[in-house]
Amino acid sequence: MTERSEFDFESRIEDRQSLQGKFWRFAKYLSTRKMECWGFFLAGYIISAIF
């Protein structure tokens, strides 16, 4: 049981690091684009959250 729980814990850490890496790669990508490119997406997301 200990080995199983350690494996689960390690896989969750790897998943979290993978998600963080994806987020930072996406953030870096957006920083290289003009605001017009991602500003409309952000505005649409905010408007959809309101409704």
Range of the domain at 12: 2-50
| Number of domains present in the structure of the chain | 1
Instruction: Name the 3-class secondary structure at 34.
Output: coil
Instruction: Name the 3-class secondary structure at 51.
Output: coil
- Provide the pLDDT for residue 49: 92
Q: What is the pLDDT of residues 2-43, one digit of tens each?
A: 455 555 655 555 656 677 788 888 888 888 888 787 888 889
Q: Is 34 left (phi over 0), alpha (psi -120 to 50) or beta?
A: beta
CA distances (Å), origin 36, targets 14, 23, 25: 34, 20, 19
